[in-house]
Amino acid sequence: MQTLRTARWIGVLLAVLAIVSVRPASAQAPKVGDYYEDAIDIGFKIKMPDDWEFTPPQPGEDQLIGKYSPTTNKYILLAPNVPLWLEANLVKFDRRSEESGGGQDGAARPKDQRLDKWIERNLRGSKFRVDQEKDRKINKVDATEYLYVGETGGEEFHVYAVLYRVRPDVDVAVVFNGPADRKKWRKYDTAFSKMAKSFKALEVEKIEYSGARDGDSSFRTIKRRQLEEECAKTPGWELYETDNYFVITDNDDRQFIRELMERLEAIRQVYEELYPWEAADRLRAIAAENRKKREAEEDLGDLSPEERAKRQLEKELRKQARSTTTNASPRDLSKCSVVRIFKNKNQYHEYGGPPGSAGYWAAFHEELVIYDDKQGGGRDDTWSVLNHEAFHQYIFYLYGSIAPHSWYNEGTGDYFSGYEYEHKRFKLKPFAWRVQTIKQAIKDDEPGGKRAIVPLKELVRYSQAEYYGRNGYGIGGGHNYAQGWSFIYFLRTAKGETSCWNDDWDGILDTYFETLASTEDLDEAVDVAFAGVDWDAMEECWKQYILKGI
């Protein structure tokens, strides 16, 4: 993996799956497995495929209950290079009163309650049509059985679904996919039908919450309750806690979880040393006052109605980005930081982990998502990703919607990735993932010719897209991540270590961040932080330090 995060969470996440060559898969028709059971919300159980892994829905997914997919051999071939990715979805159509919160999770319910619309929006494929439909009763529950035909890569496949009318205001559906070939489909149809017939309605039980704990804020108590409800409906998932984090996972390696929780609290102490809460409180107050002045001085009178409406919308969106649904303080919110850990890479990507990534911080969902890379790059990679993404999470609660340039944001995340855990404490080291990449790039760079590094005076103004590779030099994200890390490392550690250091550079990082936090202006932050800097001298010193000092 070249970068810790090849895609940042910026609203719409585009994941492109390119299949260059697909080897024949040995996926077999599923066998009937154990029950999925929900006894605390809707009240039902149904058998699902044996040895398939359960992936929970992302926060805010109001209709998906969860998805099962094969542990290995995740697809079958409909034709050469036309895979069908197998999945079994549990879906709900919840019409419980919005006035009462729509159930225990308090979420507003989607208006579209149609199964065919859900299939069109969520299953891989297109041109779905109902081929068969039959009303029936399954274990005293009214139901309708459907067989859909869809297309992918020009090939047809089947979707078997059953909609159960569990109660007057809630329907549940199970949705499977499989091959359309008559001979192959017979085995899938048999298994799907057996699972569908296992559906039973259950009495809803009252969940036993662990309740408030000493030192809890009211928000932390509420957050614990929400996560306990989620885990109670999510097979194999458990909730763990530290002073500042909620950890939810299906990984049953207790020693790994214990170490992860210890590391979270230890690296947080490092964050707090460089980014103390007291300084953040002061800067947020300055930012609020500056914002108030700008809004008071803003003259919308000369704008067209369309432009005025656009400005008002932007203002409202900024306000929403800075607000929360509670009156909790930023520090109270930070003490409820959620870390979701998948036990393997496959589950992580089924959940929505961006291709090529090993973790991400989702500000919109307010959760940090990673997986245990024990079977891949190793646990050291997991710890590096954790340190990086937990920094983004910490800064989000510290400063809200602030978004530094990528060289600072991702470079600082990588700076923390270099910390190594020794004797229950973190010690700064160069981040091994980046060292050789940036050293080789510096050696390969040809000013005036083919560039392998971005001039520093340009890098510090790069947009996220440019940082990820859409720049005039054609330098990719992996190299820019390495350069961003090395520049942060240089500015934080080179003083006293190299004779070319200029004391005027001492406060660059602090000045950049404080200016950005108080003005919310990216250009001004760069202008103030690097005012008067001799870029040629700085770049030459940076190169020398990286090549000889690390």
pLDDT tens by residue, 49-94: 999 999 999 998 999 999 999 998 999 999 999 999 999 999 999 9
The three-state DSSP-derived secondary structure of 268-313 is: HHHHHHHCCHHHHHHHHHHHHHHHHHHHHHCCCCCCCHHHHHHHHH
Residue 396 clears pLDDT 90, i.e. is over it: yes
Report whether 142 contacts 165 (CB < 8 A). Answer: yes
Q: Report the alpha-carbon distance of residue 201 to residue 78 in Å, rounded.
A: 36
* H or E element at residue 189: helix 182-197
* pLDDT (average), residues 476-496: 97
Residue 102 clears pLDDT 70, i.e. is over it: no
Where residue 241 falls (left for φ over 0; alpha for ψ -120 to 50; beta otherwise) is beta
Report whether 239 contacts 227 (CB < 8 A). Answer: yes
Question: Could you tell me which residue, 285 or 503, shows the higher pLDDT?
Answer: 503
Residue 490 clears pLDDT 60, i.e. is over it: yes
What local confidence, expressed as pLDDT, does residue 212 receive?
85
Residue 431's CB is within 10 A of a number of other CB atoms, namely 28
Interstrand relation of 337-342 and 245-249 (parallel, antiparallel or unpaired): parallel
Residue 323 clears pLDDT 70, i.e. is over it: no
| All residues at 6 or more sequence positions from 253 whose CB lies less than 8 Å from its CB, including other chains | 343, 372, 374
Question: Could you tell me which residue, 296 or 247, shows the higher pLDDT?
Answer: 247
Residue 427 clears pLDDT 60, i.e. is over it: yes
Q: Report the alpha-carbon distance of residue 30 to residue 177 in Å, rounded.
A: 11
**What integer best gives the mean pLDDT of the chain?**
89
Residue 63 is given by DSSP the state S
pLDDT tens by residue, 12-24: 232 323 333 334 3
DSSP bridge pairs for 144: 135, 163
Residue 97's pLDDT band (boundaries 50, 70, 90)? low
Residue 107's pLDDT band (boundaries 50, 70, 90)? very low
Residue 435 clears pLDDT 50, i.e. is over it: yes
User: What letters, b where the CB count within 10 A reaches 16 and e where it falls short, cover 439-463?
Assistant: bebbeebeeeeebbbbebeebbebe
pLDDT tens by residue, 108-121: 444 467 999 999 99
* pLDDT (average), residues 496-507: 97
Which domains, ranges and CATH numbers included, belong to the chain? 32-201 (3.40.1000.10), 221-292+305-402 (3.40.30.160), 426-549 (no CATH)
* pLDDT (average), residues 377-401: 94
Residue 414 clears pLDDT 50, i.e. is over it: yes
What local confidence, expressed as pLDDT, does residue 315 receive?
61
Nearest to 360 by CA among 379, 336, 341: 341
Residue 292's pLDDT band (boundaries 50, 70, 90)? confident
Q: Report the alpha-carbon distance of residue 166 to residue 143 in Å, rounded.
A: 9
Burial label, 531 (beta-carbon count in 10 A; 0-12, 13-18, 19+): exposed
Tokens of 319: 């306000």
Residue 428's pLDDT band (boundaries 50, 70, 90)? very high
